[in-house]
Amino acid sequence: MKFYVIGDVTVDHLYHLNKLPRPGEEVTPLRASMKPGGAGGTIAVTLARLGHTVTLAACVGDDPFAEYALSRVRESGVNEAAIQRSASHLTSTITLMQTADGQRTMISDGAANRQLDPSKLKKKDVEACDALIVNAYSLIEGPQREFTLQAVEYARSAKKPVPVFTDLGTGAVNKVGTGLREEALNSDYLTLNQHELQALTGTRSISAALKQLGEAGAQKVVVKVGKMGSIIWTPTETELVDAVPPEGAVVDSTGAGDTFTATFAHAILSGGSMAESARAANAAGALAATGFGAQEHPITAADLAVAVPKAKKK
């Protein structure tokens, strides 16, 4: 299968702490690391490792961090033809602090990512793909937003329409909130977590939020609900798909949601039902969290066959 992915690539500075520091407080991390990351990069790398042909549209700076941010992308064989370089903006970085009990705080700089030039988007590249995957960070602002909206239009108007998967992100929803609703609804599959769902709709419960999206025209929604797994929703069904516990300890949730989204799209295009695909995605997201860094634990088709035998047999 051929995927076209639009999203951020970053260098992640990760700090694992006993507790988050108070203002003015200095703390020593239990572990500190620097890893390639970004939602777009992680989705693209996951799909490539699962055997797909992947084109990634992203923008990096003309600086030493650029090569590091793209290192896993390159190792995985992702097509870099749509990677752009900005001479005036630095490669994006994220500083993330998290504790063992799940508390997180971060500093995120969109930087070069937001400068993705829409004039360089090639219509034929989108139309030639089997699916377009858009991360909400690419819909926030700047030229990157225009690039993404145009790509979605190309996918929609293609002679053979290209299905669009839109994945929200906490930072994007926190910044734009309900302003992303139109873009979220203009997709075939919407994936997001509970916080993002409620922020997108301005509601206080999952059921109320899904009801609102349904009334607005949503067709297929997947809600990530952490240790509980995920909820699949269509106008005719709602189902909780149980989590798939990984072999090994969960040490870092960075990128787990992006791995989930990539695996869900992989499973759907491989012929899986919504429930089967969500279960495979649950397994992949959990496996991703057993390594430090968003792209450090490779997810393979063999992993999914072992983790989700029921989905494999159907």
pLDDT-derived band at 240 (thresholds 50, 70, 90) equals very high
pLDDT in tens, 150-160: 999 999 999 99
Q: In sequence order, what are the residues at sequence separation of 6 or more whose Cβ sits closer than 8 angstroms to the Cβ of residue 225?
A: 193, 194, 206, 231, 240
Whether the model pTM is above 0.85: yes
Place of tokens 């797994």: 229
Longest dimension (CA), the chain: 58
Question: What integer pLDDT is reported at residue 305 of this predicted model?
Answer: 80
pLDDT of 308 reads: 67
Q: Shortest CA distance to 208 belongs to which of 240, 233, 172, 180?
A: 233
pLDDT at 6: 98
Distance CA 20, CA 295 (A): 24
- pLDDT category at 35 given cuts 50, 70, 90 is very high
The pLDDT value recorded for residue 181 is 85
Residues 195 and 223: beta-carbon distance below 8 Å: no
Kindly report, residue by residue over 49-98, the tens digit of the pLDDT: 999 999 999 999 999 999 999 999 999 999 999 999 999 999 999 999 98
Q: What is the mean pLDDT of the chain?
A: 92
Q: How far apart are the first and last CA of the chain?
A: 21
Tell the residue number behind the tokens 């952490």, with chain if given.
226
Q: Is the pLDDT score of 130 beyond 50?
A: yes
**Better pLDDT: 37 or 100:** 37
205: pLDDT strictly greater than 70? yes
pLDDT in the model for residue 313 = 41
Ordered structural domains, the chain, with CATH: 2-313 (3.40.1190.20)
Q: Is the pLDDT of residue 7 over 50?
A: yes
Rounded-to-integer distance, Cα 209 and Cα 71, Å: 38
Position 309 scores a pLDDT of 61
**Residue 180 pLDDT:** 86
Distance CA 243, CA 236 (A): 22
Assess whether pLDDT exceeds 80 at residue 177.
Answer: no
Query: What is the rounded average pLDDT of the residues 229-241?
Result: 95
Confidence of residue 39 (pLDDT cuts 50, 70, 90): very high
pLDDT of residue 104: 83
Residue 30 pLDDT > 80: yes
Closest CA to 168 of 131, 202, 199: 199
Position 84, amino acid: Q
The predicted pLDDT at position 314 comes to: 39
SS (H, E, C) the chain: CEEEEECCCEEEEEEEECCCCCCCCCCCCCEEEEEEECHHHHHHHHHHHCCCEEEEEEEEECCHHHHHHCHHHHHCCCECCCEEEECCCCCCEEEEEEECCCCEEEEECCHHHHHCCHHHCCHHHHHCCCEEEEEHHHHCCHHHHHHHHHHHHHHHHCCCCCCEEEECCHHHHHHHHHHHHHHHHCCCEEEEEHHHHHHHHCCCCHHHHHHHHHHCCCCCEEEECHHHEEEEEECCEEEEEECCCCCCCCCCCCCHHHHHHHHHHHHHHCCCCHHHHHHHHHHHHHHHCCCCCCCCCCCCHHHHHHHCHHHHHC
The proportion of the chain whose per-residue pLDDT surpasses 70, expressed as a percent, equals 97
Alpha-carbon distance 24 to 27, whole Å? 10
Share of the chain above pLDDT 90, in %: 75
| pLDDT for residue 306 is more than 80 | no
Over 80: is that where the pLDDT of 102 sits? no
The residues, ordered by sequence, that sit 6+ positions from 310 with a Cβ below 8 Å of its Cβ are: 276, 279
Residue 311 burial (10 A CB sphere; 0-12, 13-18, 19+): buried
- Please report the pLDDT score of residue 312 as a whole number: 42
φ and ψ of 108, to 5 deg: -125, 130
The residue-averaged pLDDT of 90-118 equals: 90
User: Of 211, 257, 263, which is closest to residue 234 (Cα–Cα)?
Assistant: 211
Average pLDDT over residues 224-231: 94
